[in-house]
Amino acid sequence: MSGERTYRVTIRGRFANLTDEARRYLVQAQPEHDIFVSAFTVEGTFTYDERISFFNLRYEVKCGIDDGPSAIALAEAAQFLRTMGFGHTPLKAEPFDVSAVWDG
Return the CATH number of the domain spanning residue range 4-103.
Answer: 3.30.70
Q: Are 49 and 30 in contact (CB under 8 A)?
A: yes
Position 61: which residue type?
V
Domain ranges (residues) in the chain: 4-103
pLDDT tens digit sequence for 59-92: 999 998 788 999 999 999 999 999 999 999 999 9
pTM above 0.75, yes or no: yes
Determine which helix (DSSP H) or strand (DSSP E) holds 72, and give its type and residue range.
helix 69-84
Collapsing DSSP states into helix, strand and coil, what is residue 59?
A: strand
Beta strand pairing call for 92-97 and 4-14: antiparallel
Beta strand pairing call for 4-14 and 45-48: unpaired
pLDDT tens digit sequence for 1-44: 458 999 999 999 999 999 999 999 999 999 999 988 899 999 99
